[in-house]
Structure 1
């Protein structure tokens, strides 16, 4: 059994929604929208000035070298402190983010990358955070308590600002251990700081804590993640969205391997001219693979194409083909941390079969198919059948 899933459920049960969404603390009001490009220039100028006039220290509590707590203060003339902009301990990085028909260059610091896996911008994460204004006033904090958030930027129940969805994938999770009292401790987790223009934060929304059009700073720690499979159905009657999934987790549908998955069709006003190459769309039908039930457009759903034949589930002729009804992305070995469950899956999602024809005297067709050979399930690289529109065969 996946240990994380168990703890993740427990964590969800104890979490209360916090003010990162700015929907649950002060009453939020809106003001007339400013031009995004003009506002970004002003925000970027403010952020650069902040980086050049403030310094940062990373604090670890006694006996807790993993803390990576961040303290940022304004430089006082003659105090000898080096600005965030000029310090060399942590490289100041930027990430281009397309939104609101402009490209933001978001500054961030990696204090520690992390030792585990990086989330995509559509996964769920367990993290802690502290949010401050450019005055260094704290407007929100989790006080180092781990909280759960959905990074999925297109969810109706959106829980995070866009900047989080874009920067958290630059970090990796840590590893966890549990003591005799059930207390989970993380080590090696990713930690960093992101400096967000208002267009990727709360923009025109205003509350007592955050004025409208305000750039903000978040120091964050990434502890754990849950991989998501976000294909969904929409109720014609209510418009409610229900996640169904296609059997392939989002992170494996990141065809270009950049760590991000986008659906620019969701809002043509916000994303009218997206840069080429950012969308992972195998069949070019305008639906990104992570939201597409038929990734290759061959008329067969991905779920159907990755389903094992009934005779290849469990122990067959002394061979353990795995208990799942679906092929994993790649073959799996047994997890030694779960001694009561055998996760062995010797076959991954196959490619189009390359074995002998049923009747070698006739051409390959729907009624004269090739046989699968073991290499079809394991060869690397291989074009998996749910991404190959030439298979299954079309019936004549």
Structure 2
């Protein structure tokens, strides 16, 4: 990275460390270190840590201690095998692009989990313990699940460091049960692992509490549960705060390439050269679908396009017979044909998913298709798989000539 680009990025980032001179009257601004240079040092430190420390894991399903982790430094002759060399748990890595650096982030899979994997924009419930590379523990949830929001631009919730957003989607939730007497929720078969984060994906030059600036951090964690999010937001004209609105389609269904990750590449300081395979942007307008109110760029909002007609909500008629259209105001992604037995007073069935462009006969076959002479929907338009859903098809609704 040349010097001009380096200082330009620092200027735009607007983040600095502040220290006082001997008189405590003047403030000296210290620029952030170069991300690429710092990452090389961090990666060396992490690989050394993996080769000089060993791990023990408590494997006691059904107990609060299940998948608890202890990491200690190897003492010569103690017979312990390093995290790097052990074969009990899979040590793997993933490439993460951030601040124009491609980080190689190591993580250890203790248990993948049996439920669903979050995207990096969902909310999760997780237990955790964090330590420095000298194995000093700086924070822990003491085995209890804590809610977090993985989306760094979220308008609500307890957001996390970037490294968490990059590693949690590689794991799945488990199953939960609630004690009818105490109301205590317990989890089983949950995903569990350890992430080894370079400072650029953690607290970097700012540090945090007991974590010094430019320090790598290690987190062991258990992924208990998740909440799917719909993260389209607007900016309040009075407070300047983000207001979560959503477009009716959860983020995980707007992950077009199916990799479990969604990024807002409008932040060109952080992402000056985003890899093309990470982009989830149907209309190529520079706004990723998960924060775009009009995914296909046809001038009609996604929420408008997936809204059910007012006469097709609840119980109605279809071809002269009684028909349950479902109680939602919006089409679900796909048809929901099974009612949830745990909610006997609510019928969750939705026989029609988000439709494609209608393929039936024209309203008036003697005239060309237009906004005033649309084609009619047929049942296959709501259920055919795969299909191009109308909010991703910029040729529908048909515009008025």
TM-score by length of 1: 0.90
* Residue aligned with 2:218, SS: strand
Matched, 1:323 2:327: yes
Matched, 1:355 2:360: yes
2:201 maps to which residue?
200
Q: Closer, same or farther in 2 for the Cα pair 1:391/1:114, shift >3 Å?
A: same
TM superposition shift of 1:339: 1.6
Counterpart among 372, 381, 384 of residue 386 in structure 2: 381
1:182-224, Cα deviation, whole Å (9 max, x unpaired): 1111111110000000000001113551111101100011101
Question: 8 Å contact 1:55–1:82 — kept in the other structure?
Answer: yes
1:233-256, Cα deviation, whole Å (9 max, x unpaired): 112232111101110011111111
1:103 maps to which residue?
102
1:196 and 1:89 map into 2 onto residues whose CA distance is: 21
Matched, 1:162 2:162: yes
1:64 and 1:376 map into 2 onto residues whose CA distance is: 49
2:293 and 2:398 map into 1 onto residues whose CA distance is: 18
Question: 8 Å contact 1:113–1:189 — kept in the other structure?
Answer: yes
1:252-311, Cα deviation, whole Å (9 max, x unpaired): 11111110110121x322211111121211001111111111100111110100000011
2:114 maps to which residue?
115
1:312 maps to which residue?
312
Q: Closer, same or farther in 2 for the Cα pair 1:306/1:30, shift >3 Å?
A: farther
Matched, 1:134 2:133: yes
Question: 8 Å contact 2:281–2:295 — kept in the other structure?
Answer: yes
Query: Gaps (5+ residues) in structure 1?
Result: 1-28
Question: Which shows bigger deviation, 64-73 or 146-155?
Answer: 64-73
1:24 maps to which residue?
none
Matched, 1:393 2:398: yes
1:280 and 1:337 map into 2 onto residues whose CA distance is: 36
1:134 and 1:178 map into 2 onto residues whose CA distance is: 37
Higher relative contact order (CA 8 A, sep 6+): 1
Question: 8 Å contact 1:178–1:185 — kept in the other structure?
Answer: yes
Give 1:205-354 correspondences, 5 Å limit: 205-207=206-208, 209-265=210-266, 267-317=267-317, 318-332=322-336, 333-354=338-359
Question: 8 Å contact 2:91–2:108 — kept in the other structure?
Answer: yes
1:308-366, Cα deviation, whole Å (9 max, x unpaired): 00111001122211100100000112112222211000000000001111222332222
TM superposition shift of 1:76: 1.4
2:332 and 2:48 map into 1 onto residues whose CA distance is: 49
1:59 and 1:67 map into 2 onto residues whose CA distance is: 6
Q: Closer, same or farther in 2 for the Cα pair 1:173/1:66, shift >3 Å?
A: farther
1:32 and 1:330 map into 2 onto residues whose CA distance is: 51
1:39-92, Cα deviation, whole Å (9 max, x unpaired): 100000000001011111111459628711111111111222111111111111
1:90 maps to which residue?
89
2:127 and 2:304 map into 1 onto residues whose CA distance is: 39
Question: 8 Å contact 2:53–2:82 — kept in the other structure?
Answer: yes
* Residue aligned with 1:372, SS: coil
1:308 and 1:177 map into 2 onto residues whose CA distance is: 35
Q: Computing the radius of gyration over CA atoms, which structure comes out larger, 1 or 2?
A: 2
1:62 and 1:119 map into 2 onto residues whose CA distance is: 22
Question: 8 Å contact 1:151–1:164 — kept in the other structure?
Answer: yes
Question: 8 Å contact 1:31–1:204 — kept in the other structure?
Answer: no
Q: Closer, same or farther in 2 for the Cα pair 1:166/1:62, shift >3 Å?
A: closer
Query: Gaps (5+ residues) in structure 2?
Result: 1-27
1:19 maps to which residue?
none
**How many residue pairs end up in the alignment?**
367
1:62 and 1:294 map into 2 onto residues whose CA distance is: 46
